[in-house]
A and B are shown apart, each in its own frame.
Chain A
C-alpha cells in the first residue's frame, strides 16, 4: 500500500480515542499526529534508514556501454549457486544503468520456476519518468536476452519480472532450504521494521515522553500498518527479534493498485470525519453509523468500482508488458540457439 494510505489509517485509528479528539479541540493538542507519524513509520525506517545498512555480498553493476544480458544472468546465477552449494545466504544488489543525466537503460530479471533458471532481458532506454524511447533496445539478440540455470529447486514469493530502470535497483537474497533455493526480494524490507514488538517498544518511549494516550495511539497506528501490509504480497517479520523470518502476504491487494489505495484513503477520511463529529461538543451529523457509512463510503465505493472499468489506462511505462516480452524473446532465442 502507498504511504498515504498507511498514514491516513494511523490518523483514523487515533480519532477513535475520544480523549485525543477532545484534547485537540479544547487544548489545541497535536496528539492525533502520532497516528499519522507511526502509521507511516515502518516504511520510513526501511527506506530511509534500514536499506543503507544492508550488507550485500555481490554487487552487479552492468556496463552502460556494453550491457550484456547473459553476463548479468551469469553473475546472478553464480551468486545463487554459491548460496546453494555452500549452504549460506548470499545477498545480491542489482544496480541501475545510468546513461545520461535523465536517461537509463532498463533491464528485467525473472526467476523462472518452470525452467529453474534466471532470465535477464535488456530493454529500451527510458527517461527518468520511466517512459521508454522507441526502438532503443540492443539490436543484437544475444545481448538482449540471457539465461542461466540455477541449482536447487527455485522457490520465491513473486513469479513476475523485476524491472530495473531508474534511481536505485533492487536486491535479492538467495538461501538454501533443503533441496530448495529460496529467492527473497528486497531482503531488507518488512523485516525488523515491520514487527509489532518494535512498534510497541517505540510507542512505549513516546508514551513515557508524551503521555500514555500518545503511546497507545502510536502503538496502534504502527500495528495497523503492519497488519495492512499482510494483505499484500510480502508480509512482515511480525515479532522480531523473537521471530527471524518474514512471513508471506495474503496477496489480496497490490500495493500499486490505484482504486484500492484510494478507497483506503477515502475510507479513512470518512472514519475521521465520523469520529470528529461524534466526539464534538456539538455534533453536526445526527444519523446512525451504518447509514453514515452506507451513504458516505459504501455507495460511492461501489459506484467507483463499477465505473473504474471505463477508466482503465495503458501503463505508459510499459512495465506490465515486460513479462510478455521476455517470454516472446525467450521462445525466439530458444529456437535459434536450442537452449
Chain B
C-alpha cells in the first residue's frame, strides 16, 4: 500500500511539475511554496510522509522541462547572437528540438552521476563543508570577481582611435558592471524591506527574477518581431560517448559546485566548470548545462536526505525542513528511487512537450505568443504579489534590459542575490543597508 501511495505521489509530482515548468520564468520553488501552504490547510491531500517523494518528483521534472521555455520561448532575434545561449542558437538554426533532447540527455547523465556520487556524499561532502563553511562569503566574492573579470570585450577593433576602440569594447563590459551593481542594490532593497503582502513574503525574489530574466527577452521579442524558422524534428542527436562523457563531467562539477554553495546557480556553476575544463564544442555546452541544472536542483535537494550531513541547500529543502526530517538511510534511498523514476518519465516528457511547443510556434505567431507570455507574467506577479510586486518587476525589467541591449552577460543579474547574501555573510549587510536608508 505504501509503495502504491509513493508511486501515486511521484507520478502526481512529475505531471504537475511538467505543466508548470513550461511557463517561462515560473520557478518551481514559487509553486512549491504555494503547494506547501495548501498542504497546511488540507493535510489529507499531501501527508507529511509523502512530501519528500512528491517534492523530489517535482524538482526532477522541473530541472528537465524548464529547458523547453528557455529554448523555444526565449528565442532572441539574431542581433543578440553574441549573448544568446547555444540552445537558443540551435533554435535559430532550426535545431531547437535537438537542443532540447541533448539537454535532456544531460539531465539523465546528471541523475546517473548523482546516484554514483552517493558514497562521496556520505564521506567527502560533510568534511568538505565543515572546512569551507567559514569561508563561504569570500568564495561568493571570488565568483563575483571572476564573473566580472572573465567577461570578454566585444569590440571590433575597427575604430580609428585607441579610445574609440576601447569604448567600443568596454561598452558591454561597463554594461555588465552596471547590471551587477544595480541588481545588487535591488537585492538589498527586496531582502531588507518587506514590500510584499505578509502571506506572500516568501515569494520576495520572484518578481525580481521574472523582471531580470524573463520580461526583457519577451519585450525584445515583441519589439524586434523575431521570425522563428521552421524547426526540424531530427530522429537522432549528434552525440557520441566521448561528447557525453566530457559534457557530463563538466556539468556535474558545475552542478555540484552550485549545489554545495549557497546562492550559486546551476548556470554559474556551469560557466565556471566550462571554463575550468576548457570546453569549446557547443554540444558539450548544451549537454553540460542539462547535467549542471539537474545536479544543481536535484543534487541540492538530495543532500538534504544524506544522513549525518544536515545540509539544507536550495529553496525546496528550506521549505520542507520544518515539516520533515530524514532519519535513516532508507529515507535517502527512497528519495533516490523517486528521483530515478521521475527522471525517466521527465526525459520522455521533454521529447513530447518539445514537439507540442514546436507545433504551437508554427501555428501561432511568435509575437502573439510573446505578448501572451507577457500578459501571463504580469497577471501572475500581480495575482501573487500585488502592485508592489509589479513595481519590483518593472524596476528589475529595466535592469534586465541592460545586458540584452548592450550584449553583456545576463548572469550579472545574479548580483540580486549574490551581492546582498555575500555582504550579509561577511557582516557588512547591516552597515550597507543603513547607508542605503533601508534600515534605521
Contact = CB atoms under 8 A, between A and B. Distances in A.
Contact of B156 (A11, A131, A168): A168
Given A128-B82, A169-B157, A313-B243, A7 B166 contact: no
Given A49-B166, A95-B157, A284 B149 contact: no
B81 interface: yes
Contacts of B86: 129
B283 interface: yes
* Interface residues on chain A, size class: 35 or more
A187 interface: no
A312 B276 contact: no
B327 interface: no
A249 interface: no
B150 A40 contact: yes
B89 interface: yes
Contact of A101 (B81, B134, B170, B426): B81
A273 interface: yes
Contacts of B169: 48, 52
Contacts of A311: 242, 245-246
17 contacts: A2-B276, A4-B272, A4-B275, A5-B276, A24-B134, A36-B142, A37-B145, A40-B150, A48-B170, A49-B166, A93-B157, A102-B78, A256-B280, A258-B279, A273-B131, A284-B127, A313-B243
Contacts, number: 139
Interface of B: 78-79, 81-82, 86, 89, 93, 127-128, 130-132, 134-135, 137-138, 141-142, 145-146, 149-150, 152-158, 162-163, 165-166, 169-170, 173, 240-243, 245-246, 272, 275-284, 425-428
A33 B149 contact: no
B164 to A, nearest CB: 9
Nearest to A304: B249
Contacts of B282: 129, 131, 316
Contacts of B283: 316
A36 B146 contact: yes
Contacts of B157: 51-52, 93, 95, 168-169
A242 interface: no
B58 to A, nearest CB: 33
B155 A262 contact: no
A318 B35 CA distance: 51
Nearest to B151: A48
B89 A276 contact: no
Nearest to B82: A128
